[in-house]
């Protein structure tokens, strides 16, 4: 109940901040920079050669203008809600969007790519943008804004912006538990869960350090959700009643327990940095266990299609039988949350994590 009551307060904070932004109030951050996977990709994958795309209906059916932007949900992402609540802007665009304006760049973009992860092999297997490449794009981004506003202001934007990072979902969900390729590419055959956790953490810390070396200072870094409770994992478990996959959830929890202190240790080693670990595991646990508290109905199914297995093109093929009101669902497709769930996560980040930044 404490989490639920806290979210009511967070919703009030969100409403006030959006109101202030609408009246011309300035944000404490000049821009927001986003890195990670499909939970934060607003359409970068539209512009690369990969099957991991969502730029077609019914994705985006509740987005402003009903546009399928490439976001793997029915509407906005947590990064969009967060940017709006902070008074920066309503939507965080994809860095690879060819129509970006100067203002789009100066107020922040997302470098995230659906199917990416802390493990470089995860991105390679889906031919998407690895985190090292996202950092490379960020360095290119700095050059672009420097040409617009000059070195001094560009440096100020970079050092004072909020950096929002979330990854690891595809690492566990694809590379570890469901990669059925040869032994060389099947992480579960070569690493124990603790060993793979170490691999992911070392890579993730390297990504944050690279961003720091490029000028970033203020980070919010998300942990993993309860991956084993997504509709697809329940379905693939093939057990009557479709319970959550406890083995995957245990791996997620194990990663989170080690990720949080690793981030704290890294912060101590990077002078002037603030790295806030954002725990989203418990909020999704609560939404799955008590869906009616959040206005949801069945937390075991997605809105798209049957809600059991559809994602990507399968979601499009089953669009005709999708639910009429996605706001009543925690999951949009069989893997990704609805815009309603992303708003809940953004509210939590605003209430709990943002105040910890300087």
Tokens standing for 202?
């070392």
The reply to whether 336 belongs to the active site is yes
The reply to whether 26 belongs to the active site is no
Percent over 70 (pLDDT), the chain: 91
Mean pLDDT of the chain: 92
DSSP string across 209-264? HHHHHTT--EEEEE----GGGSHHHHHHHT-TT----HHHHHHHHHHHHHHHHHHH
Compute the average pLDDT of residues 32-54: 98
Q: What is the CA radius of gyration of the chain?
A: 19
Position 17 pLDDT exceeds 60: no
Contacts of 90 (CB under 8 A, 6+ apart): 80, 83, 84
The reply to whether 41 belongs to the active site is no
Residue 280's region, left for phi above 0, alpha for psi from -120 to 50, else beta, is: alpha
Q: Would you state the pLDDT for residue 1?
A: 38
Compute the average pLDDT of residues 145-161: 98
Q: Identify the H or E element spanning 18.
A: helix 2-22
Q: Would you state the pLDDT for residue 136?
A: 98
DSSP letter assigned to residue 72: S
Catalytic residue from among 27, 38, 110, 230: 38
What CA–CA distance (Å, rounded) separates 252 from 320?
34
Per-residue confidence band for 9, with pLDDT thresholds at 50, 70 and 90: very low
Percent over 90 (pLDDT), the chain: 89
Q: Would you state the pLDDT for residue 186?
A: 81
pLDDT in tens, 181-214: 545 568 999 999 999 999 999 999 999 999 999 9
Which of 195, 193, 135, 187 lies closest to 165, judged by CA?
A: 135
Catalytic residue from among 84, 97, 336, 353: 336
Architecture of domain 2-356: 3-Layer(aba) Sandwich (3.40)
pLDDT in tens, 55-96: 999 999 999 999 999 999 999 999 999 999 999 999 999 999
Residue 302's region, left for phi above 0, alpha for psi from -120 to 50, else beta, is: beta
Catalytic residue from among 41, 80, 104, 333: 333
Q: Identify the H or E element spanning 340.
A: helix 339-348
């Amino acid at each position: 109940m404490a989490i639920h009551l806290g979210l009511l307060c967070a919703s009030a904070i969100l409403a006030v901040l959006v109101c202030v932004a609408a009246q011309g109030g300035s944000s404490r951050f000049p821009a927001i920079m986003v890195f990670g996977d499909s939970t934060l990709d607003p359409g970068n994958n539209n512009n690369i050669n990969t099957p991991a795309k969502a730029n077609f209906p019914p994705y985006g059916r509740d987005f402003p203008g009903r546009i399928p932007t490439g976001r793997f949900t029915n509407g906005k992402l947590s990064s969009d809600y967060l940017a709006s609540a902070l008074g920066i802007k309503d939507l965080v665009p994809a860095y690879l969007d060819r129509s970006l304006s100067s203002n789009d760049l100066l107020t922040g973009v997302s470098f995230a790519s659906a199917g990416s992860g802390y493990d470089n092999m995860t991105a390679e297997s889906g031919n998407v943008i690895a985190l090292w490449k996202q950092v490379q794009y960020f360095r290119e981004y700095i050059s672009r804004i420097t040409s617009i506003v000059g070195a001094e202001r560009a440096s100020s934007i970079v050092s004072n912006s909020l950096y929002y990072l979330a990854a690891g979902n595809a690492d566990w969900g694809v590379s570890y538990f469901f990669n059925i390729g040869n032994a060389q590419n099947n992480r579960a055959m070569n690493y124990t869960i603790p060993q793979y956790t170490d691999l992911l953490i070392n890579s993730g810390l390297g990504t944050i350090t690279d961003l720091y070396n490029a000028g970033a200072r203020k980070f919010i870094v998300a942990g993993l959700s309860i991956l084993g409770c997504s509709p697809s994992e329940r379905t693939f478990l093939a057990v009557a009643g479709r319970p959550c996959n406890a083995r995957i959830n245990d791996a997620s929890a194990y990663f989170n327990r080690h990720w949080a202190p690793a981030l704290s240790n890294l912060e101590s080693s990077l002078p002037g940095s603030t790295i806030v670990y954002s725990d989203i595991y418990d909020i999704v646990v609560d939404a799955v266990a008590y869906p009616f508290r959040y206005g949801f109905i069945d937390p075991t199914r997605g809105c798209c299609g049957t809600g059991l297995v559809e994602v990507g093109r399968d979601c499009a093929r089953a669009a005709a039988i999708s639910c009429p009101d996605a706001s009543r669902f925690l999951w949009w497709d069989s893997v990704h949350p609805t815009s309603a769930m992303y708003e809940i996560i953004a509210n939590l980040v605003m209430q709990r994590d943002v105040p910890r930044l300087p």
